[in-house]
Amino acid sequence: MDIYLEIAVPLELKAVTFFIGNGFSKYLTDGHAPSWIQLLENLTKKIEDGRGRTLHNKLFDTDESGNAIRSKLEPYICAQVLELEYRKAKKDIKKCVAEVLKENININTINFAKVDESKRFFNKYPGINFVTTNYDTLLSEHVLEGGFTNLFIENSAIPKSGLGQNIYHIHGCISKPSSLILTISDYFKFQHRNSYLSRKLYTLLQETTTVILGYSLGDFNLNRIFHEAQITKANSLRKSDTYLVSRDPVEQIYKDFYAYTYGIHVIDDTEINIFFSNLELHTDEAKRLNSQVEDLQNVMEGKSEYADEFIKLRTSFNSILLQASTLGINPTDKKLVKVLINILKKKKTFTYENAAWSQYEHLAEWLIDLASIINIEKSDIKSDFLDLVEYSFVCMSKDLMLGYSWAAYKIWKNRFYEIKFENQKFIEEFAQSKTHIKEKYESIISQY
C-alpha cells in the first residue's frame, strides 16, 4: 500500500493531525531554534555572578569548545535545578525561556522560503489539527499567518470557534510563560492530570491519522505519549494510522520496533518539503477513492461486484482497504473479510492466464497486506488464506526458473516481517508441515 496515499485519503477528509516537534522549528530556522540542551545551556549562561559558569560544568558534558553536548542529569531535572537558582535570584525562569526563544527565533533567523513552502501546504488543507510540544509560536505567527487559528493552552480560555485550524500546545507556549512544562515537577503534574488538553490529545490520536514531524525516535515525550495511545487504540484496516517523517535514514531494526510497539510507520531519509510534495502527488487519487466509498458498501451487501479489470490492477486491493477504513468498518467485519478473501481467490484465477506474471506479484503483496492488518488465525478465512499462501509459495522460486515467479519470492522475503506476529506463527506451523514448501519458507525467513 502506498504510504503517501494512506495519508492523502484522510487528509482530503480533514481527518489528519500533525504532531509537531522541535525539529520542525529547527528546519524553519536553519538550526537556530534551540534544542532542549541548548535551551538549558542558554538559561544557565543567563545566571549572573559567575554562578552560571559553575553550574554549566556541573550540569553538562561539553565538547572541546566548551559547548554543552548532553546533560549529566535528565533534562527536566536540570531544569528543576536551574529553576531553584532563578528563584534565589528572584527571577522567573519561564519568562527567561520566552526571552531565549525570541532571541533565537525571529525575523533574522527564520528561513521564510521554507516557511512559505509549509504555509502553502497547510493553507491548502485547512482542516488539519496541530499538536505540539514546542513552546514557540512559529506555527501560529508565521506558518499559519493570515489564516484563522485557535490556540489551545493549558489554563487558558478554550476557543469556542469551530472555524480555522486548531493548535494544541500541550507543553505550554511562550505567549503564556506560566503554562510551560519545563521542570520535573511540571512534568509530573502534566503526566497525572486529566485536563482538557490531555483528553483532546488522545481523542485526536484515536480518531485521526497522525503525521509526526520534527521528532527523533528516541524522544522521551514522543515515546511516552504514543505508548499510552497505543494501549487504547482501536483496531484499524491500515498497518498504521501514525507516520513519523525522519530527515535521516533509519535502520530497519528501529522501524520494526516502532511499528510493532507503537504502530508508528517511519518514513525516513525524507526532507519535510519533499514529504509535502510527495503527499500532494497523491491527493487526486485520494479524492477519487473517497468519492467511491459507496462501491464497497454495495459489494458487501451483494448488490454489485468488482469488475475483473479492476481486480487485475495492483492498487485495487489496497483501494478497497482504504475505502473500508474511511467508512470506519471494523477489520473483523465478516462481510468485509468475505469480500477480501473472494478478491484474493479471483486474483489467483488471473495467474492462470498467459503472461500473468504481475498477477503472481499482486497475489503475494495482497496476502501480506491482509496478514499485516487482520488476525487471520481467529477469522473464518484461515483455511482459504493458507490455501492461497501455499499456492503462492508453490508458484515462486528463489532462482530464475521458467514457469516460476522470482518477483513473488522477493516480495515474500522482503516483506514477511510486516505480517502480524500471530499470523507469522501459524504460517510457520503450516509451512513446516508441508514438505513441498518448507524449504521456500525457511529461505524467506533466513534473514530474520
Q: What is the pLDDT of residues 209-242, one digit of tens each?
A: 899 999 988 887 788 788 777 665 555 565 557 8
Q: Are residues 229 and 324 in the same domain?
A: no
What's the predicted TM-score (pTM) here? 0.74
Among 240, 256, 280, the domain-final residue is 280
Average pLDDT, the chain: 88
The H or E element spanning position 118 is helix 112-124
Q: Are residues 24 and 118 in the same domain?
A: yes
Q: What is the rounded distance in angstroms from the CA atom of residue 190 to the CA atom of residue 34?
A: 23
> CB neighbours of 287 closer than 8 A, spacing ≥ 6?
12
Q: What is the rounded distance in angstroms from the CA atom of residue 417 to the CA atom of residue 435?
A: 22
Q: Give the domain range for residue 238.
A: 3-28+107-280
How do residues 166-213 score in pLDDT, each as one tens digit? Answer: 999 999 999 999 999 999 999 888 877 777 888 888 888 877 889 999
Q: What is the rounded distance in angstroms from the CA atom of residue 211 to the CA atom of residue 364?
A: 28
- The answer to the question of residue 439 being in a domain is yes
Q: What is the rounded distance in angstroms from the CA atom of residue 104 to the CA atom of residue 436?
A: 65
> CB neighbours of 103 closer than 8 A, spacing ≥ 6?
none
User: In this predicted structure, what is the pLDDT of residue 209?
Assistant: 85
Number of structural domains, the chain? 3
Of 28-32, 297-301, 341-345, the one with minimum mean pLDDT is 297-301
Pick the more confident residue, 448 or 130: 130
- The answer to the question of residue 285 being in a domain is no
- The answer to the question of residue 151 being in a domain is yes
Q: Are residues 224 and 365 in the same domain?
A: no
Among 67, 88, 104, the domain-final residue is 104
How do residues 133-154 score in pLDDT, each as one tens digit? Answer: 999 999 999 998 766 788 899 8
User: In this predicted structure, what is the pLDDT of residue 98?
Assistant: 97
Assess whether pLDDT exceeds 90 at residue 162.
no
The CATH number of whichever domain residue 242 belongs to comes to 3.40.50.1220
How do residues 242-299 score in pLDDT, each as one tens digit? Answer: 899 999 999 988 887 887 777 788 999 999 999 999 999 999 988 887 776 568 889 9
The H or E element spanning position 95 is helix 93-104
